[in-house]
């Protein structure tokens, strides 16, 4: 793998069973997120890395999301360097919402992507 190149997929490539990691900050997550995603903000990621290794299904791809794809690309690259099969989701939660995928506020209502 070349430095700076990160495996990337579009939202349309994600199955309902895909393991999602959302690296947006708390206020972004609370406004709206993909139901079932694991939330670890990028600013806390290295300190909370163990949460990911505990919760991610062994051997499965980890699809990393942020708002548009910049932060998630950095985290995906870090994970690949750790030997984890991680993929950046192009367009992030904005593409998720635009594709008509559900966005949850975590309280049973419809969320928004900020």
**35 vs 102: CA distance, rounded Å:** 7
User: 33, exposed or middle or buried, with CB in 10 Å at 0-12, 13-18, 19+?
Assistant: buried
Contact (CB, 8 A) for 41 and 102: no
Cα Dmax for the chain: 42
**65 vs 23: CA distance, rounded Å:** 6
Q: Look up 66 and say whether it is catalytic.
A: yes
Q: Which of 20, 66, 76, 79 is catalytic?
A: 66
Mind telling me the catalytic residues?
66
């Amino acid at each position: 793998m070349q430095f700076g190149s990160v495996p990337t997929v579009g939202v349309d490539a994600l199955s309902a069973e895909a393991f999602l990691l959302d690296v947006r900050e708390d206020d972004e997550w609370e406004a709206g997120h993909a139901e079932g995603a694991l939330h670890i903000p990028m600013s806390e990621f290295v300190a909370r890395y163990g949460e990911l290794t505990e919760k991610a299904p062994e051997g499965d791809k980890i699809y990393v999301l942020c708002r548009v794809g910049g932060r998630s690309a950095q985290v995906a690259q870090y994970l690949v360097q750790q030997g984890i099969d991680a993929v950046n989701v192009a367009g992030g939660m904005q593409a998720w919402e635009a594709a008509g995928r559900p966005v949850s506020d975590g309280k049973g209502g419809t969320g928004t992507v900020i």
